[in-house]
């Protein structure tokens, strides 16, 4: 049976106390959840949430990471600092980082390589804007983001990498790609991986879908052959929404 990877990106939401309360509610709600579940609170809440989920099956993630381990990098957070707090996974190249903060494929790739070198599991986010989709550039854009994001990643490190396909027009908008549309892009991404690393690696690659995933559409999306999990934004902020998404099979 397939094991799904359900991740929650809390973005710039919640104080430390609010984050701990949500983390504790999720520990209670997801006690018997068979999927791999990750939550990514704000940096300021990582330490407290790490304590709150200790002993549970929930994995601690970060929403971003600096491209160096230490030094004169004002405002950045090092993979060493993340590991020190119990972080195991890190979201990289989220569309908000790419589009609001100008992160390039080259920078995202540098972070992916550093995360792997430091033993963190990157979630590499890719996705096209509405303009790019309507101009027929979906595959060119997503293909480039996958190829450039994975540049220099060794085949033996690929198992630690997750790809999240997040059409930019579906993030936080309430618009979801239809399960068939999402699955088609996931199949395309799998083909790109096959071209880079071979069929077996492509088959094994975990590809999450992200973009207005909610309790009502999670099962339908997860039923698709190429969708291996979800990266959830807005609906990850309440246990009564994220719980049923992670528990979509029950």
Nearer to ligand PEP, 103 or 166 (CB): 166
Nearest residue to ligand PEP on Cβ basis:
233
Nearer to ligand PEP, 6 or 235 (CB): 235
Nearest approach, Cβ of residue 125 and ligand PEP (Å):
7
- CA angle 54–58–62, rounded 5-degree value: 95
Pairing status of strand 5-9 against strand 206-210 = unpaired
Nearest approach, Cβ of residue 185 and ligand PEP (Å):
14
Residue position matching structure tokens 């559409």: 217
- Residue in 35, 96, 103, 166 annotated catalytic: 166
Compute the distance between CA of residue 89 and CA of residue 82 in angstroms, rounded to an integer: 9
Nearer to ligand PEP, 59 or 202 (CB): 59
Nearest approach, Cβ of residue 211 and ligand PEP (Å):
5
Nearest approach, Cβ of residue 85 and ligand PEP (Å):
21
Q: Is 166 marked active-site?
A: yes
Which of 149, 150, 148, 176 is closest to 245 using CA atoms? 176
Q: How many CA atoms lie within 13 A of 65 on its CB side?
A: 34
SS3 130: helix
- According to DSSP, the residues that pair with 210 across neighbouring strands are 231
Nearer to ligand PEP, 91 or 202 (CB): 91
How does 205-229 read in b/e, with b if 16+ C-beta sit within 10 Å?
Answer: bbbbbbbbbbbebbeebbebebbbb
Nearest approach, Cβ of residue 68 and ligand PEP (Å):
25
- The contact set with ligand PEP (CB under 6 A) reads 9, 166, 171-172, 210-213, 231-235
Nearer to ligand PEP, 145 or 212 (CB): 212
Pairing status of strand 5-9 against strand 229-232 = parallel
- Residue in 94, 103, 121, 186 annotated catalytic: 94
Q: Is 128 marked active-site?
A: no
Residue position matching structure tokens 């099979």: 249
The residues annotated with a catalytic role in the active site are 94, 166
């Amino acid at each position: 049976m397939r094991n799904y990877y359900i991740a929650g990106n809390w973005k710039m939401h919640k104080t430390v106390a609010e984050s701990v309360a949500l983390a504790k509610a999720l520990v209670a709600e997801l006690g018997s959840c068979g999927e791999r579940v990750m939550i990514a609170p704000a940096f300021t809440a990582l330490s407290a949430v790490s304590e709150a989920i200790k002993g549970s099956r929930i994995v601690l993630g970060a929403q971003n990471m600096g491209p160096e381990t230490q030094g004169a990098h004002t405002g950045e957070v090092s993979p060493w600092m993340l590991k020190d707090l119990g972080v195991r996974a890190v979201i990289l190249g989220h569309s908000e980082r790419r589009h609001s903060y100008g992160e390039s494929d080259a920078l995202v790739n540098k972070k992916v390589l550093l995360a792997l070198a430091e033993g963190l599991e990157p979630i590499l986010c890719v996705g096209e804007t509405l303009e790019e989709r309507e101009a027929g550039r979906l595959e060119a854009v997503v293909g480039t983001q996958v190829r450039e994001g994975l540049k220099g990643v060794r085949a033996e490190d690929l198992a630690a990498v997750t790809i999240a396909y997040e059409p930019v027009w579906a993030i936080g908008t309430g618009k979801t790609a239809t399960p068939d549309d999402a699955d088609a892009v996931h199949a395309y991404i799998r083909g790109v991986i096959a071209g880079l690393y071979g069929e077996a690696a492509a088959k094994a690659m975990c590809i999450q879908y992200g973009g207005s995933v909610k309790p009502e559409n999670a099962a339908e999306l997860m039923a698709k052959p190429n969708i291996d999990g979800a990266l959830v934004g807005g609906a990850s902020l309440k246990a009564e929404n994220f719980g049923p998404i992670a528990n979509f099979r029950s």
